[in-house]
């Protein structure tokens, strides 16, 4: 893998650990790993957020399918808001009170993941990166004052849910962020990614004049990784506003162009303090090849209630 000069980073092994927080009460540090089971139309997150200055951990795990988009009807959903801080009983191991553990196998590149809710679910996974961590451009939303990177990897292992064991083997995204994050003032944003052994696409988009324009992201192809310079995210929605189909067109700093068409496999409406995020597991067609990924469609609740997708 060649990381070209346009996407430098200075991350190191210390960035696998919690960072010393700044002075803001709203300091927040997150660990996010996703995975998928396309044949079951599953999308899934392992997520933990740590607010060290507020002395709390939040997050949990959710698995959704195509039976319903509501979290309380998902195959598995739990999201905590006010647990104790995580512990690190040994170097390279983070133990979160949600039930998540993250063990570093290779700094910045490979991790053993586990989740245990003490009742219904037991998760044992390995994340093995296929690219280095890619930083979000400084000052770019949605985290203009925080450190943030994204990274595609292969996720393998098992999930035992209600006594049924499901094998996991998918390419999926993880990210990390640390810095101040408030719970008000979010704007609409699209976070769309496609992952495979030889191709990664990640786009951040903002709505403008009836379409979504790509303002940052990256493309990995033919062993080269470069930032996106332009593109569009075109959406076909259902009557409930959830995403049915997507077309993503992007161009990077090397002049490479990709057009991808995505079909929704399943979705989950993920509520936050002042926004709702539609998490949609996607089957993508890229130049005749089938890949998988996810779209995160973020809406302030006040804007969602206006139902702007409905035609008069």
β-bridge mates for residue 286, sequence order: 260, 289
What is the average pLDDT score of the chain?
93
What is the DSSP-derived secondary structure letter of residue 16?
G
Query: Using 50, 70 and 90 to split pLDDT, how confident is the model at 170?
Result: very high
Over range 276-304, report the average pLDDT.
Answer: 96
Over range 151-156, report the average pLDDT.
Answer: 98
> What pLDDT is attached to residue 145?
75
User: Which tops the pLDDT comparison, 306 or 278?
Assistant: 278
- pLDDT above 70: percentage of residues in the chain: 96
User: Which tops the pLDDT comparison, 101 or 240?
Assistant: 101
Yes or no: say if 238 and 244 are a contact pair by the CB < 8 Å rule: yes
* Confidence check: pLDDT of 139 > 80: no
* Confidence check: pLDDT of 2 > 70: no
pLDDT tens, residue by residue, 198-239: 999 999 999 876 679 999 999 999 999 999 999 999 999 988
**In the CATH hierarchy, which top-level class contains the domain 185-312?**
mainly beta
> What pLDDT is attached to residue 209?
64
Instruction: State how far the Cα of 207 lies from the Cα of 213, in Å rounded to an integer.
Output: 6
User: Which tops the pLDDT comparison, 308 or 265?
Assistant: 265
CB-count exposure of residue 15 (10 Å: 0-12, 13-18, 19+): middle
User: Which tops the pLDDT comparison, 151 or 209?
Assistant: 151
Task: Parse the chain into domains and list their residue ranges.
Answer: 27-181, 185-312
Query: Using 50, 70 and 90 to split pLDDT, how confident is the model at 141?
Result: confident
The tokens for 300 are 């302030």
Q: What is the pTM of this model?
A: 0.94
Over range 240-256, report the average pLDDT.
Answer: 95
User: Which tops the pLDDT comparison, 251 or 7?
Assistant: 251
164: left (phi over 0), alpha (psi -120 to 50) or beta: beta
DSSP string, 203-259: EEEEEETTEEEEEEEEEEETTEEEEEEEEEEEEEE-TTS-EEEEEEEEEETT--EEE
Over range 18-34, report the average pLDDT.
Answer: 96
> What pLDDT is attached to residue 210?
66
* Confidence check: pLDDT of 260 > 80: yes
Yes or no: say if 267 and 280 are a contact pair by the CB < 8 Å rule: yes
Q: In CATH terms, is domain 27-181 a member of 3.90.1280.20?
A: no
Over range 161-168, report the average pLDDT.
Answer: 98
* Confidence check: pLDDT of 143 > 90: no
Over range 112-125, report the average pLDDT.
Answer: 98
Instruction: State how far the Cα of 81 lies from the Cα of 65, in Å rounded to an integer.
Output: 24
């Amino acid at each position: 893998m060649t990381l070209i000069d346009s996407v430098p980073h200075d991350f190191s092994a210390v960035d696998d650990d919690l960072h010393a927080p700044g002075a803001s009460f709203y300091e927040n540090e997150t660990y996010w790993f996703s995975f998928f089971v396309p044949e079951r139309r599953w999308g899934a997150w392992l997520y933990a957020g740590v607010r060290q200055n507020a002395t709390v951990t939040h997050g949990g795990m959710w698995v959704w399918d195509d039976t319903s988009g509501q979290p309380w009807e998902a195959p598995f959903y739990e999201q905590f808001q006010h647990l104790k801080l995580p512990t690190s009983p040994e170097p390279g191991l983070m133990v979160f009170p949600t039930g998540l553990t993250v063990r570093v196998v290779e700094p910045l590149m490979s991790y053993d993941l586990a989740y245990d809710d003490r009742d219904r679910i037991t998760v044992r996974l390995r994340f093995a990166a296929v690219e280095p961590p890619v930083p979000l451009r400084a000052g770019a939303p949605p985290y203009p004052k925080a450190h943030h990177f994204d990274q595609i990897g292969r996720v393998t292992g098992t999930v035992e849910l209600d006594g049924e064991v499901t094998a996991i083997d998918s390419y999926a995204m993880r990210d990390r962020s640390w810095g101040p994050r408030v719970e008000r003032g979010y704007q609409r944003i699209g976070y769309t990614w496609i992952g495979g052994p030889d191709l990664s696409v990640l786009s951040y988009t903002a709505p403008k004049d009836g379409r979504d324009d790509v303002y940052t992201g990256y493309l990995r192809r033919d062993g080269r990784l470069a930032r996106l310079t332009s593109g569009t995210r075109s959406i076909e929605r259902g009557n409930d506003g959830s995403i049915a189909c997507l077309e993503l067109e992007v161009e990077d700093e090397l002049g490479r162009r990709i057009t991808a068409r995505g079909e929704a496999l399943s979705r989950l409406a993920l509520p936050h303090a002042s926004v709702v995020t539609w998490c949609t597991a996607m089957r993508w067609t890229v130049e005749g090849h089938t890949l998988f990924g996810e779209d995160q469609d973020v809406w302030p609740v006040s804007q969602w209630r206006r139902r702007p997708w409905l035609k008069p």
